Chains A and B, each alone.
Chain A
Amino acid sequence: MKQRINSAEKPAVKPGVKTALKWAAFAILSVFMYTSSTSGGPGAKALLLFPMTAAVAVFESEIPSAVFGSVCGLLLDVSLGKLPGFTALWLCLACAGISALFGQLLRKNIINFLWVFALAGGIYLYIDYYLYYKIWAYEGYRLALTERLLPSALKTLLWSVPVYAAVRITERLSGAVRRLDLEEQDKNIDRV
Chain B
Amino acid sequence: MIYAAVSSSNAISSAIGTVFAPVQKFSNRISDAVTGTLDMLFNARDYYEENQELKNELAELYAKISDYTEISQENDHLREMIDLADSADGVELSEPCTVIGRTANDIYGSFFIDKGEKDGIEYYDPVVTSSGLVGFVTEVEYTYSLVTPLLSNEISLGVYCVRTGETGVIEGSYELALDGTVRMVYIPLECEMTDGDIVITSGYSGNVPKGIVVGTAGSITIAPSGLTRVGIIKPTVDPFDLKTVFVITDFDGKGAGYETEN
User: Could you tell me which A residues sit within 8 Å of B by CB distance?
Assistant: 35, 37-42, 44-45, 47, 79-81, 138-141, 143-144, 147-149, 152
Which of A45, A47, A147 touches B107 (beta carbons < 8 Å)?
A: A147
Q: Please tell me if the beta carbons of B174 and A138 are within 8 angstroms of each other in the complex.
A: yes
Q: Please tell me if the beta carbons of A44 and B103 are within 8 angstroms of each other in the complex.
A: no
| Bound CA–CA A140/B240 (angstroms) | 21
**In the complex, the 10 A-B pairs of residues with the closest C-beta atoms, listed nearest first:** A38-B101, A140-B174, A81-B103, A140-B175, A143-B174, A37-B104, A148-B105, A139-B173, A79-B104, A42-B240
Q: Please tell me if the beta carbons of A140 and B105 are within 8 angstroms of each other in the complex.
A: no
User: Smallest CB-CB separation from A80: which chain B residue?
Assistant: B104
Q: Please tell me if the beta carbons of A40 and B102 are within 8 angstroms of each other in the complex.
A: yes
List chain A residues, Cβ under 8 A from B178: 143, 147
Most buried by A among B104, B110, B146, B173: B104
- 13 residue pairs bridging A and B, Cβ less than 8 Å apart: A38-B112, A39-B101, A42-B240, A44-B105, A45-B104, A45-B105, A80-B104, A138-B174, A139-B153, A139-B173, A140-B173, A144-B107, A148-B105
Q: Please tell me if the beta carbons of B107 and A148 are within 8 angstroms of each other in the complex.
A: yes
Which of A44, A79, A141, A152 touches B174 (beta carbons < 8 Å)?
A: A141
Given A147-B107, A148-B105, the answer on whether A139 and B240 have CB atoms closer than 8 Å is no
> Is B235 at the interface (CB under 8 A from chain A)?
no
List chain B residues, Cβ under 8 A from A139: 153, 173-175
Shortest C-beta distance, B79 to chain A (Å), equals 27
- Count contacts between A and B, CB distance < 8 Å: 57
List chain A residues, Cβ under 8 A from B46: none
What 0/1 pattern do residues 169 to 184 of B give for CB contact below 8 A with A?
A: 0000111001000000
List chain A residues, Cβ under 8 A from B175: 139-140, 143
User: Smallest CB-CB separation from B176: which chain A residue?
Assistant: A140
| Bound CA–CA A140/B171 (angstroms) | 14
> Is B116 at the interface (CB under 8 A from chain A)?
no
> Is B109 at the interface (CB under 8 A from chain A)?
yes
Given A37-B104, A79-B104, A80-B104, the answer on whether A42 and B109 have CB atoms closer than 8 Å is yes
Q: Please tell me if the beta carbons of B104 and A144 are within 8 angstroms of each other in the complex.
A: no
| Bound CA–CA A138/B154 (angstroms) | 10
User: Smallest CB-CB separation from A40: which chain B residue?
Assistant: B102
Q: Please tell me if the beta carbons of B103 and A138 are within 8 angstroms of each other in the complex.
A: no
Shortest C-beta distance, A83 to chain B (Å), equals 11
User: Smallest CB-CB separation from B180: which chain A residue?
Assistant: A42
| Bound CA–CA A35/B55 (angstroms) | 35
Q: Please tell me if the beta carbons of B102 and A138 are within 8 angstroms of each other in the complex.
A: no
